């Protein structure tokens, strides 16, 4: 699981965190992001069409589509059934940890402090989200927390911007970051999304 999720995290420096409001937007958004160099796509289960969006986006060549905002074993099952190739959660519970472990799907649980990270490690997960990255203390917090917890590597998400992404990506503990800035709300402007994706894909790490 660790190796498989790291492979997803290494596809690009940024994983777009997507809230798909209208199923008609799913394909053009996925095409624009992949064309711009961001193949790993996290579709959050926050909208009615999220599972359908996972199905649609998976048909875009090159896209590696995962589910985000997976809070329960049932969310995880529905995501896997929809074809999600990886699972992201803002946190971790014993029930979700057991379901993810059993399913063997690449899993990126959320952590915000040392105890969260220790719990995730205890459950067998060492590739983690750091969420909400900026509000949880920013790069200096993650740097300090990860010093004694060197086995864990992260995808900081929450408040990450093109401006602060380089600082996150410079940390040894960071493999990639997550963020929503590439895809503004509303009818997708595919040229703008592709340009934002290209800039994100070019970030150094
Ligand atoms: C979210 O919760 O939507 C993700 O953490 C992305 O948040 P962002 O808009 O701060 O990038
Ligand atoms: C999620 O929605 O999965 C989060 O972790 C918040 O970005």
What is the set of domains in the chain, with CATH numbers? Answer: 2-201 (3.20.20.70)
Confidence bin at 205 (pLDDT 50/70/90): confident
Distance from Cα 9 to the centre of ligand 1, integer Å:
17
Beta-bridge partners for 153: 127
Is pLDDT of 1 > 90? no
Q: Ligand 1 pocket check: which of 158, 163, 183 to mutate, most ligand atoms within 8 Å of Cβ? A: 158
Residue positions annotated with a catalytic role:
42, 129
Q: Can you give the pLDDT at residue 55?
A: 98
Q: Count of H helices and E strands in the chain?
A: 9, 9
Q: Can you give the pLDDT at residue 120?
A: 98
Q: Ligand 2 pocket check: which of 125, 131, 136 to mutate, most ligand atoms within 8 Å of Cβ? A: 131
Pocket flag, ligand 1, residue 137 (CB < 6 Å): no
Q: Looking up tokens 């926050």, which residue turns up?
A: 46
DSSP 72: S
Residues in the chain: 205
Structure tokens belonging to residue 71: 């809070």
* Ligand number nearest to the C-alpha of 178: 1
126-164 tens-digit pLDDT: 999 999 999 999 999 999 999 999 999 999 999 999 999
What proportion of the chain, given as a percentage, has pLDDT over 90? 99
Q: Is the pTM of this model over 0.90?
A: yes
């Amino acid at each position: 699981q660790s190796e498989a999720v790291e492979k997803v995290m290494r596809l690009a420096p940024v994983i777009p965190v997507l809230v798909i409001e209208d199923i008609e937007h799913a394909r053009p958004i996925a095409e624009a992001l992949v064309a711009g160099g961001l193949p790993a796509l996290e579709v959050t289960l926050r909208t009615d069409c999220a599972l359908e969006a996972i199905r649609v986006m998976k048909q875009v060549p090159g896209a590696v589509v995962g589910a985000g905002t997976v809070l329960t074993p049932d969310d995880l099952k529905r995501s896997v059934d929809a074809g999600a190739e990886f699972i992201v959660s803002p946190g971790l519970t014993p029930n979700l940890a057991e379901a993810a472990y059993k399913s063997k799907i690449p899993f990126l649980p959320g952590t915000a402090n040392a105890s969260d990270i220790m719990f995730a490690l205890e459950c067998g997960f060492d590739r983690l989200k750091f969420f909400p990255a900026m509000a949880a203390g920013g790069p200096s917090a993650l740097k300090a927390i990860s010093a004694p917890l060197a086995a864990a590597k992260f995808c900081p998400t929450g408040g990450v911007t093109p401006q602060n992404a380089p600082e996150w990506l410079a940390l040894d503990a960071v493999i990639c970051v997550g963020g929503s800035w590439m895809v503004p709300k509303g009818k997708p402007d595919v040229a703008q999304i592709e340009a934002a994706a290209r800039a994100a894909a070019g970030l150094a790490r």
